[in-house]
């Protein structure tokens, strides 16, 4: 949805009997413009019929980090302790924000709860999220706080060598702030969080939204431990090999050890596990079936590896909303990651359900 469509929909949600004239007055636009927005919302299935009956279509809530990504890429072999020629780009980022944008581009009604500063980067993040179709009404823009920033250095193959983040503003997403959205949280079809959230907020979400499947991205080794006390509240866990090793204490260099790690997580209540293995693919398990999905072959140079994991996480969430089986889900998610690798920006603007489906069919024949 466009920003204006979101504004129109918000007024209708607040008062289903509101007239188009009243909407026009509140938004300072013409009545004919309102009628056009309403028609498009009806066409998209968001509004049903003439009486402004809001569709009960599923929606996702994503909670966690939103930051500005600054990425430096070397044009030749990277020389440490020296200045390297290359390119420097900036784009919106943050694990939760990236997942939310990918979901929105896949066609999901996605609402983002994130904290940003009342600064230039914060304004850019807000504008870009709205343009991408994310519902931004629940984002928290704070005075006297700096928007999160993430700096990464990539080698000439597009692989990340090191990253540094300044994400202290995420600490503002305390349980008391999340509680203000509790009615909406309890109506969500799925809740996706990253472990940039503090332990108290993770505990609140796991203990409050018991009817909603909770999907968790562990983000980093340092932050993965935050979810250890709450594993029994997690429906789906997406983690890298080193993150899940830090969480479980089990080294997992082989398929057998990965299976042991997944069993450890299942025994503590996690229903589904996706362990990303870089060039080796993804190990997946739901306690009944498991497998190792090899990665797709990439034609040409990888443009940016930063967004692949977040696209994969969005693909897994999208597949759940479609009620797909485990193997079908992981293949779609791998295809989403493959689409992400093909663009220099963290989020590929070509990301869509149709694009990923074509990629999936080309590689897997399904």
- The CATH code of the domain at 1-57 is 1.10.10.10
CATH superfamily of 58-364: Ribokinase (3.40.1190.20)
Question: What pLDDT was estimated at residue 50?
Answer: 52
Predicted confidence (pLDDT) per residue in 68-98, tens digit: 988 898 999 888 899 999 999 888 999 999 9
Predicted confidence (pLDDT) per residue in 298-311, tens digit: 655 555 566 899 99
Q: How far apart are CA 25 and CA 246, in angstroms?
A: 55
Q: How far apart are CA 265 and CA 243, in angstroms?
A: 13
What does the domain layout of the chain look like in residue ranges?
Answer: 1-57, 58-364
The position carrying tokens 């295809």 is 335
Predicted confidence (pLDDT) per residue in 168-195, tens digit: 999 999 999 999 999 899 999 999 999 9
pTM of the full structure:
0.80
185: CB partners within 8 A, 6+ apart: 61, 178, 191, 205, 208, 209, 212
């Amino acid at each position: 949805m466009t920003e204006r469509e979101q504004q129109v929909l918000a007024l209708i949600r607040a008062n289903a009997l509101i007239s188009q004239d009243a909407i026009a007055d509140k938004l300072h636009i013409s009545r004919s413009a309102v009628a056009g927005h309403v028609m498009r919302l009806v066409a998209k299935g968001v509004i049903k019929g003439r009486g402004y009956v809001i569709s009960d279509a599923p929606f996702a809530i994503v909670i966690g980090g939103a930051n500005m990504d600054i990425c430096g890429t070397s044009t030749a072999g990277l020389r440490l302790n020296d200045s390297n020629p290359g390119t420097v780009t900036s784009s919106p980022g943050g694990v939760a924000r990236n997942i939310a944008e990918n979901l929105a581009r896949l066609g999901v009604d996605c609402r983002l709860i994130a904290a940003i500063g009342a600064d230039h980067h914060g304004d850019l993040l807000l504008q870009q999220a709205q343009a991408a179709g994310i519902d931004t009404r629940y984002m928290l823009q704070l005075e006297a706080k700096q928007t999160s920033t993430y700096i990464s250095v990539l080698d000439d193959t597009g692989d990340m060598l090191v990253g540094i983040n300044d994400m202290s503003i995420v600490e503002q997403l305390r349980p008391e702030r999340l509680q203000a959205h509790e009615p909406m949280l309890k109506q969500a079809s799925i809740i996706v969080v990253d472990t940039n959230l503090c332990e108290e907020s993770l505990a609140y979400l796991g203990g409050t939204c018991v009817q909603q499947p909770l999907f968790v991205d562990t983000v980093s080794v340092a932050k993965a431990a935050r979810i250890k006390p709450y594993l029994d509240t997690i429906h789906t866990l997406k983690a890298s090999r080193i993150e899940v090793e830090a969480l479980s204490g089990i080294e997992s260099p082989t398929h057998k050890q990965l299976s042991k790690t997944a069993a450890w997580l299942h025994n503590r209540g996690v229903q589904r596990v996706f362990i990303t293995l870089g060039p080796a693919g993804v190990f997946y398990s739901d306690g009944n079936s498991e497998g190792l999905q090899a990665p797709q072959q990439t034609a040409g140079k990888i443009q940016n590896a930063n967004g692949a994991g977040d696209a994969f996480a969005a693909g897994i969430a999208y597949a759940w909303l479609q009620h797909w089986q485990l193997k079908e889900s992981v293949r779609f998610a791998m295809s989403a990651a493959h689409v992400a690798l093909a663009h220099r920006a963290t989020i590929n603007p070509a990301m869509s359900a149709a694009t990923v489906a074509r990629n999936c069919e080309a590689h897997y024949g399904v």
